[in-house]
């Protein structure tokens, strides 16, 4: 008789330790993996940014320049010329979001599979939108903007303003977290099926043979494709919303 | 396990299943968007890149209602506030 297969464990990020100030700050898997991602991005950027020259650029430099100019063209198309100072933020957002999700491939927990990370992304966008609205319309103009086109729509306008960052955060979190949940369920199901098929063979039967290879195809969709798509979506939405709040002033 | 807790757990599991009915909407919407994109590529094959990126963006935005359902289901299953 074989030992029972452990039920799929889907849990939130583990708390490694707690800093005992301000009522205890929990240092979770998300934070540690997030710092890992930051370290990876910094190292990659450091190595890509070394030995640049204008006379005889290396192949590496040409590739990086191509990448940066692609991003800057996209930014110029979506946000306009007066918002080009957002290029470093959007680039960092894209790189952090994509590498965080891709970290799920290595077996570590993806930082974007935690709602706190994505709410962070969304809150930055939210405060940028409000800041530029106040800056461009003036404080009272910003308040007046809520009661347009008719005054009794004010509650609806406020709700739709708050719903923006919530939907951004939940969209990114839900996509990555559903990948984590479905992957663990698939592993459990494959273990059960291989137990049924070859469980009667004495030694080999205890190895869940179906777990080899099949999850890789799912991982291509859930990790690689979703990571890229969600990073694109969240930077695109940030660009569209913030660019809409800070449109070029007509002369 | 107490009777009330058992009932709450069972009802949460049923509720999580019901919450995932929200997946129907995005499924229909994304299928429609993909069909329209295929039509557009058929009519204008040279704009394939633009059409694909626009379609993916629209699909991901349309997906959010389904994601809300998923989040509700996951809250009911893994972080139930009622128990």
pLDDT of residue A93: 92
**More confidently predicted of A199 and B49:** B49
Are A89 and A251 contacting, i.e. CB atoms less than 8 angstroms apart? no
A171 to B57: CB separation less than 8 angstroms, yes or no: no
- Contact residues of B toward A, CB < 8 A: 56-57, 60-61, 63-64, 67-68, 70-71, 74, 78-79
Q: Does a structural domain hold residue A233?
A: yes
Whether residues B67 and A10 touch (CB distance < 8 A) is answered with no
Identify all chain B residues contacting A181, using CB atoms and an 8 Å cutoff.
74
Tell me if A5 is assigned to some domain: no
Q: Is residue A183 part of a domain?
A: yes
Minimal CA separation from A235 to chain B, in Å = 11
Please tell me which of the candidates A170, A181, A236 has its beta carbon nearest to residue B57: A236
Please write the tens of the pLDDT for every residue from A96-133: 999 998 888 887 888 888 888 899 999 999 999 999 88
C-alpha span between A170 and B66 (Å, rounded): 10
Q: What is the mean pLDDT of residues A86-100?
A: 91
Residue-number span of the structural domain to which A177 is assigned: 15-249
Q: At residue B15, does pLDDT exceed 60?
A: yes
How many domains would you assign to chain A? 1
Closest residue to A181, CB basis, from B57, B64, B74: B74
How confident is the model at residue A3, as a pLDDT?
Answer: 61
| Over residues A229-245, mean pLDDT | 87
List, for residues A141-152, the tens digit of each pLDDT value. Answer: 888 888 877 888
Which 213-242 residues of chain A touch chain B by CB within 8 A? 229-230, 232-233, 236-237
pLDDT above 80 for A8: no
What are the structure tokens assigned to B30, written together? 């994304």
Tell whether A119 is covered by a domain. Answer: yes
Task: Choose between A51 and A8: higher pLDDT.
Answer: A51
Contact call for residues B27 and B59 (beta carbons, < 8 A): no
Please say if the pLDDT value at position B35 is more than 90: yes
With 90 as the cut, is the pLDDT of residue A182 above it? no
Residue B50 pLDDT > 80: yes
In this prediction, residue B31 carries a pLDDT of 93
For A209, A238, B36, the CA distances from B51, given in Å and listed in that order, are: 42, 21, 10
- Does the pLDDT value for residue A251 go beyond 70? no
pLDDT of A1 reads 44
Is residue A1 assigned to a domain? Answer: no
- pTM greater than 0.90: no
CB contact under 8 A, A174 and B78: no
Q: Is the peptide bond before A149 cis (omega within 30 degrees of 0)?
A: yes
Q: What is the pLDDT of residue B42?
A: 94
**Subunit contact B74:A173, Cβ cutoff 8 A:** no
Lowest mean pLDDT among A38-47, A98-107, A205-214: A205-214
pLDDT per residue over B61-74, tens digit each?
888 888 888 888 88
Cβ–Cβ below 8 Å for B67 and A177 = no
* Domain membership flag for residue A9: no
pLDDT value for A7: 65
* Kind plus residue range of the DSSP H or E element containing A28: strand A25-28
Residue A2, chain B, CB below 8 Å: the answer is no
What value does the mean pLDDT take over residues A225-233? 88
- CA distances, A31 to each of A16, A105, A110, A231 (Å): 10, 18, 10, 19
């Amino acid at each position: 008789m074989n030992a029972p297969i452990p039920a799929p464990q889907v849990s939130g990020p583990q708390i490694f330790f707690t800093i005992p100030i301000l009522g205890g700050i929990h240092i979770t898997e998300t934070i540690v993996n997030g710092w890992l991602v930051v370290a990876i991005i910094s190292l990659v950027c450091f190595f890509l940014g070394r030995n640049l020259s204008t006379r005889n650029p290396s192949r590496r430099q040409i590739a990086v320049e191509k990448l940066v100019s692609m991003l800057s063209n996209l930014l110029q198309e979506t946000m306009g010329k007066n918002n080009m100072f957002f290029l470093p933020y959007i680039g960092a957002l894209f790189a952090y979001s994509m590498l965080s999700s891709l970290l799920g491939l290595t077996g570590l927990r993806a930082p974007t599979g935690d709602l706190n990370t994505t709410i962070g992304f969304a809150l930055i966008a939210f405060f940028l939108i409000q800041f530029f609205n106040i800056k461009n319309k003036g404080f009272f103009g910003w308040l007046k903007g809520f009661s347009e086109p008719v005054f009794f729509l004010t509650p609806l306008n406020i709700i739709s303003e708050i719903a923006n960052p919530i939907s951004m955060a939940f969209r990114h979190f839900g996509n990555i977290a559903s990948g984590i949940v479905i992957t663990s369920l698939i592993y459990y199901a494959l273990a059960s099926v291989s137990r049924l098929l070859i469980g009667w063979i004495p030694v080999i039967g205890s190895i869940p043979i179906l777990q080899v290879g099949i999850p890789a195809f799912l991982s291509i969709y859930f990790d690689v494709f979703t990571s890229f798509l969600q990073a694109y979506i969240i930077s695109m939405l940030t660009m569209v919303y913030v660019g809409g709040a800070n449109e070029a002033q007509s002369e | 396990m107490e009777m009330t807790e058992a009932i709450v757990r069972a009802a949460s599991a049923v509720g999580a299943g019901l919450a995932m009915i929200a997946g129907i909407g995005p499924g229909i919407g994304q299928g429609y968007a993909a069909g329209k994109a295929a039509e557009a590529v058929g009519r204008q094959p040279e704009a394939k890149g633009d059409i694909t990126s626009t379609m993916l963006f629209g699909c991901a935005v349309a997906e959010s209602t389904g994601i809300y359902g998923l989040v509700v289901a996951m809250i009911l299953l893994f972080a139930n506030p009622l128990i």
